[in-house]
Structure 1
Amino acid sequence: MRSAEWVRFFCSLCSVEMGGIIQSFKIGCKPDPGRSLRKSEELTNYSFSTTKNNGKMFMRHLLIIISLFFVITPGLFATTYFVDSSLGNDSSAGTTITAPWKTVHKINNSYFQPGDSILFKRDEIWKEYLNFPSSGNSGSPIVIGSYGGGNLPIITGRNEYAGWNDPTNWQSEGNNIWYRDQSYNPQRMWIDGNEVLRNEQIDSLDGIRYMWSWENSKIYVYSTANPAVSFNLMEVNVFYDAVRIDNQNYITLRDIEIRGGYAFSLAIRGCSHLTVKNCRIGSYARQGIQIRDNLGISSTYVTIGNCVLDSKFNFSYGKDKGIDDGIQMTTGANDCIVKNCVIRDFGHSAIYLKALSAADNGVFNNKIFRNLITGENVTYQRGLNTDGYENKCRDNEIFYNIIKNTNVRSQINGNNNWIHHNIIDGVKNSIVKSWGVGQSIDLQCYGTDLVCHDNKIDNNLIMNCDEPGITFSGNGNAKINNYVRNNIIFNCGRNSKSGYDSIGIAIQNSNSIKTNYFYNNCVFNGNENSPAVFLRGAFLTIEQFNTLNDTIDVASDNIQKDPLLSTPDSL
């Protein structure tokens, strides 16, 4: 807002609030309270004229007006900063497209006001670490976004491995294995632009499937000659996070791609009212997004929406090395939302809600909905995971999601979580496990002092799983007072490693499985008269399941009929 506009705005406030007190307000012109100022008038000298008896009252009101002016209008001071990695200069003001800043380092060492925008130029890349330093407020969030045309701007933690091309940095281990000092595990590596797979066993490096390993602060690489000579380029993750926001509030991050990070691409810690939308996150990283506490302050009201999280890890053999969760919410993530996202090809879980300590701030009141989750290009990824101590992972709602073509079960633990109206289709047994892990949902509750009670599994469509659609596993702590209601479980147990062929619901024979409730489910495997339930050592039809005289399990009004599913022509 230019100076003349400021004056007109301020004068209007004074005119309204001061009424008869102000007799004249002259700014480079003759007193005329009935006439508004023109932009062309000089803004040089000013004077106030008041009545004799109202001078003190005037000054008191004027101070109030000035105070209110600066409290209620912070967004009016907002500035837009532009960042261009090719043509920018950190010595520039950064406030115009023709004089932008250049580096992320400049942003890290600046201070921003509520309402400011920091815009990265599209089609540019920054191989730097962003640790954003400022907060907005409820009326004027800070925006981190993009400008121009082309692809999303990229901030990445993947970079050339420092010193790799110096032969003196490498020593031979023998058997074509070379090593050098490396203080941290970069998790992922690229040689000549292509990702190569890590193995935890150094003697398993063969130059075919497994090319590198990290152990005892050393990195090992398979090469028939010194790697500095054999390769043209070696890249690793060089930052723990690519983007990190600690204890800042009211920020919108949009229209940016965030890659790499040997822990996370995006770490949100101790933040409130932070929105991430229309971003691509997690390529080349170990994990996509972490939301957690920091300095004892939980992250609250964080929204992740309309984003694509894709690890770009595409190895279909061996156990996945170098990738973990797509979105991890832990130790203080409350009242957060993940919606309308695509999450694919991570290692442990697409979305993991965990509170694994009695002392942490908990993960509760979060909503996960309308997301598409898939893991068909990796060998071990579940759709969902909830775990927690008593009342630490609770009251989370997961609904309207599609989980398709994963290769390990979703695990639902904690207490009072509600899983409803999801489609879970095509969970296969992982090739890296010798036992069956291809269930749709497993209530397992392993781990010291973790709980699994009062969770609700309602109105889900579960189909085409290698193992039973829903399983209560015998290992771990008590599973009690959980409800399984109104689900369709179709064509499950199709390729069981655990002896559960054609079984839709499996309740193992264990004292850790207490009273749970099964109402109004439709379970069908192609035959209305064959067993559809495994109950504590016995194979039962649904009719037998409903009428059993069991002092522990409660089941009624379940049916064993073809649900007559069909695919609309438009799909």
Structure 2
Amino acid sequence: MKKYCFRAVMLLLSLISFYAHATTYYVSEKGASNNKGTSIGTPWNYQRLQAEISKKKGNLFYAGDSILLQRGSTFYGPLQVRCSGAPGRSITIGAYGSGPKPLITGLVTLKEWKAVGAKQYTASLPEDFPSYCPILLINGKPFGQGRFPNNTDPNKGYLSNESDRNDNSSFINRSLRAGNTDWTGATLVARLMRFVIDTAVVTNQQGTELQTKNFENKAQKGFGFFLTNHPATIDSHGEWFINYASKTVRLQVDANPANYRIQVPVVDTLFNCTNQKYLVVQDLAFEGATTFGIFLAYAPNNTIQRCTVRACGMEGIAAASPGNNFISLMDNDIADCGNIGISARFVQSGLSIRGNTIQRIGLQEQYGGYGTVCRIGILNDRGEDHEIAYNRIDSTGNIGIRFKGSDVRIHHNLVQHYGAVMDDVGGIYTVNQGRQPQTNRKVYRNIILDGMDATAGTPNNTSQTYGIYIDDGSRDIELYENFIANGEGAGFYLHNTTAINIHHNTVFGFKEAGVRFTYDLAKWDPPRDIRFAHNIVVANNTTSNLVKLLETRDSTFIPAQGLLPTANKSLIDSNLYARPYREAGEKVFVGWNMYQKGKQQTRKYSLRQYNAIYGLDGNSREGAVQLASNKISDQDFLVLYNAATQTKAINLNGAYQDASGKVYGPGKINLEAFAGMVLIRAGQGKPGTANRR
């Protein structure tokens, strides 16, 4: 008995000793490198922290320790972290005191400007200036390099490629006349497809023709390009050019540069954590990096929470290598990054991205990511057991949320103003071109609003921005209770997919269609097991289809056979379709395009007709409210949504109807958390009961 008591006492003492080892270190602008750092009165300076935390051997920090930076302070330079915590005893890197979050910055302020022309000035750059600098900040606002033409010029600053060569390197435009600027050495930014932007250096110019290094994709006639990284591009406020050889920057501003705070980033990555784990990074601000704000590589079991990251040339937070499992990214504010807000493309399992606010990602074509997987709010491209929830994403050049993998839950997110730079995109998007096994994916209770028009630089005059876009090879996804409003393409787009269950969603105000089903590549399995039921689809114009049932370029495929309610288990039924601006008997509900021998054949049907032919939507209804088609007005519709976590009371100043004819107001109505509804102003139409077929 004494032996067991002795062992218990020794174990208790060892645990007390282990936990007592935890130390808190303090860092302040007013600290000193020779201070102990273990009290608020004897803090380190930032240089001491940089030196200690980056040591491969003799690192001072142990599991359970805390490293706290003083609020209201600004610290210059990167943190290279080489310490790890342990399960239940993470190392915390955070803040102490009161005031704004401690700021870790990679920005330097440029001074001593010299006038060199009308509104143009030059300044010297630091000796350690990097070989790549994508952004310059004026009073905190990021500006990209100068470009020709400007994005305020016709076609939003794209020159149309007039070359017939259909190769990977030829660009012709008559505005590039002989005797004008020699663009050799400039960077050419090209729209190569709707959804591809890429860059190459101009190697030669012959009159109106530019030759570049080869692009991966062909330079198609009619697609657009512009030029940057050349002093001749500078002709408006905020445009700039860096001469890396002489380490000088040339800038145009409307007033004396002494009136502005002009800064450039000189640090590649502000917080770098490689091969470390069990860290909690919280309540810090990061600003100004040429590439990454926070970078995690082979760094599992780490948490980033309540941090602010902005003005990064590429990515705000990047978990950018295999081995980044069990990563938690919560309640962070990320803004003004060139490529991706949160990139978790290599997290294999246990990813949680919750409560983040992500704004203005990939909006300037002069810098950021290129290719197809770029300019995205949140990117997760593999793995399993992932959750992306309660995030707010506003203004992205491409996709709002892109996901892959199995056991994935995408829910309670607000996505707005997506597809500002690239086309053929979705507010929420997935693809499975590698035909990887995918199971148990749920997309629910999201609010997706205001897809943008990014046709500039393409020969197309109709945009393809979709609310939720399920692309090639994707399968086994349930999409429900989403509210999707206002876009250029369709609310839902299923492209070469199977085993998709869409139910109890609301779609409003898409120009092409409410929902679009497409099968156009024979290498993919024809659509099977498609369920589209109990949805509300409302159009706000006189031309939109409510459903584009099927498009196919495979002449051997019978239209709609993949959607028929036969052995393939598909079910399209019990939906409410409303296009209030219509005449009685119009064939506005269902249509498809079929391509045979290179020719497009179009068919349109009323709901009754297509039910009789295909047996689909037998229990679906037409909307009850009818509006005069010669008096179209945005004021006829009221789009309501609640992106809060609690029920919201909304006051209606008049009487409204929903698409089924139910009357609301005047007075208060309650809207559940992450829900939306479309109301039609009462008195503008003809109320009644929604009609079957």
TM-score, normalization: structure 1? 0.69
When residues 235 and 539 of structure 1 are mapped into structure 2, their CA distance, relative to the original with a 3 A threshold, is farther
Of 406-415 and 262-271, the range deviating more from structure 2: 406-415
The reply to whether residue 81 of structure 1 matches residue 146 of structure 2 is: no
User: Aligned equivalents of 1:500 and 1:385: distance in 2?
Assistant: 32
Between 432-441 and 420-429, report the one with greater CA deviation.
Answer: 432-441
In the TM superposition, 1:52-201 aligns within 5 A as 65-66=9-10, 69-70=13-14, 74-85=18-29, 87-103=30-46, 104-106=49-51, 107-109=53-55, 110-160=59-109, 184-190=131-137, 195-198=142-145, 199=147, 200=187, 201=227
Between the aligned partners of 2:324 and 2:486, the Cα distance in structure 1 is 37
Q: Structure 1's 69 and 426: CA in aligned 2 closer, same or farther, altered over 3 A?
A: same
1:502 matched to which residue of 2?
544
Q: Per-residue displacement from partner, 1:91-147 (whole Å, max 9, x unpaired)?
A: 111001111011141333343111111111001111211122211122221111101
> Which of 406, 426, 437 is the matching residue for 2:418?
406
The question of whether the paired residues in 2 share the 8 Å contact of 1:469 and 1:492 is answered with: yes
Q: 1:223 to 1:100 in 2, by over 3 A?
A: closer
Q: Which residue of 2 aligns with 1:386?
A: 403
Query: Which residue pairs with 1:4 in the alignment?
Result: none
Please tell me the residue identity of whatever aligns with 1:419: V
* Whole-angstrom distance in 2 between the partners of 1:437 and 1:68: 65
**More off after superposition, 481-490 vs 65-74:** 65-74
1:235-283 deviations in Å (ceiling 9; x for gaps): 3222222112222222211111122222221112222222222221234
Runs of 4+, deviation exceeding 6 Å: 164-167, 175-182, 214-220, 229-233, 562-565
Q: 1:561 aligns to what?
A: 623
- Identify if the C-alpha distance between structure 1 residues 562 and 68 changes in structure 2 by more than 3 Å, giving closer, same or farther: farther
1:549 equivalent to 2:549? Answer no
Query: Which amino acid is the alignment partner of residue 384 of structure 2?
Result: F
1:65 CA drift (Å): 4.9
Q: 1:130 to 1:509 in 2, by over 3 A?
A: same
The residue number in structure 1 matching 2:177 is none
Q: Is the 8 A contact 2:131 2:244 kept in 1?
A: no
**Structure 2 alignment gaps of length 5 or more:** 148-186, 188-226, 363-374, 421-425, 433-437, 517-540, 564-569, 595-602, 626-637, 642-648, 652-670, 672-693
Would the alpha carbon gap of residues 242 and 432 (structure 1) be closer, same or farther in structure 2, given more than 3 Å must change? Answer: farther
Cα distance between partner residues in 2 of 1:562 and 1:400:
30
1:464 aligns with 2:482: no
Percentage identity across aligned positions? 18
Cα distance, 1:71 vs structure 2: 5.3
1:112/1:399 CA distance change after superposition, 3 Å: same
SS at match of 1:406: coil
Once the two structures are TM-superposed, the CA of residue 62 in structure 1 deviates from its matched residue by: 5.1
Q: Is the 8 A contact 1:504 1:523 kept in 2?
A: yes
Higher strand proportion:
2
88 and 489 in structure 1: CA distance in 2 versus 1, 3 angstrom threshold: same
* Equivalent residue letter for 2:281: L
Deviations 1:400-430 (A, max 9, x none): 1122333452322234432122111222213
Which stretch of structure 1 is more off in the superposition, 231-240 or 462-471?
Answer: 231-240
Aligned with 1:492 (options 505, 510, 519): 510
- Paired letter, 1:190: L
Q: Which residue of 2 aligns with 1:479?
A: 497
Residues paired across the two proteins, number: 465
| Aligned-partner Cα distance in 1 for 2:122–2:251 | 6
Q: What SS does the corresponding residue of 1:75 show, helix, strand or coil?
A: helix
Three-state SS of the structure 1 residue aligned to 2:20 is: helix
Name the CA distance, whole Å, in 2 between partners of 1:218 and 1:457.
55
The answer to whether the Cα contact below 8 Å between 1:440 and 1:465 also exists between their aligned partners in 2 is yes
Task: Identify the range of structure 1 (144-153 vs 413-422) with the bigger mean alpha-carbon deviation.
Answer: 413-422
Cα distance, 1:292 vs structure 2: 3.4
- The residue aligned with 1:301 is 326
Report if aligned partners of 1:245, 1:271 keep a CA contact under 8 Å in 2: yes
SS of the residue 1:96 aligns to: coil
Counterpart in 2 of 1:243?
271
Maintained 8 Å contact 2:410/2:444: yes
5+ unaligned residues in a row in structure 1: which ranges?
Answer: 1-17, 20-56, 312-321, 355-361, 388-392, 446-450
Structure with a larger share of its residues in helix: 1
Q: Structure 1 residues 210 and 150 mapped into 2: Cα distance closer, same or farther (>3 Å)?
A: closer
CA distance in 1, matches of 2:262, 2:639: 50
**Can you list the C-alpha shifts for 1:4-36, whole angstroms capped at 9, x where unaligned?**
xxxxxxxxxxxxxx74xxxxxxxxxxxxxxxxx
Worse overlay, 341-350 or 483-492: 483-492
Q: Distance in 1 between matches of 2:498 and 2:299?
A: 35
The alpha-carbon deviation at position 212 of structure 1 amounts to 3.4
Render the CA deviation track for 1:68-95: whole Å, top value 9, x for unaligned: 643576332111100002x111211100
Distance in 1 between residues matched to 2:296 and 2:612, nearest whole Å = 51
Query: Which deviates more, 464-473 or 183-192?
Result: 183-192
**Which AA in structure 1 matches 2:650?**
D
Residue of structure 2 in register with 1:421 after alignment: 445
Cα distance change on mapping 1:214 and 1:544 into 2, 3 Å: farther
Distance 1:237 1:562 in 2: 58
Name the counterpart of 2:224: none
Which of 320, 343, 365 is matched with 2:385 structurally? 365
Q: Which has the higher contact order (CA 8 A, sep 6+)?
A: 2
Would the aligned equivalents of 1:197 and 1:212 in 2 still touch at CA under 8 Å? Answer: yes
Q: For the structure 1 residues 495 and 522, does the alpha-carbon distance in structure 2 shift closer, same or farther, using more than 3 Å as the test?
A: closer
Cα RMSD after superposing both structures: 4.2
Q: Is the 8 A contact 1:488 1:523 kept in 2?
A: no
Q: What CA distance in whole angstroms lies between the structure 2 residues aligned with 1:210 and 1:136? A: 45
- CA 1:209 to 1:165, structure 2 compared with 1: closer, same or farther past 3 Å? closer
The question of whether the paired residues in 2 share the 8 Å contact of 1:267 and 1:291 is answered with yes
1:265 pairs with 2:265: no
Give the deviation of 1:524 after TM superposition: 3.4
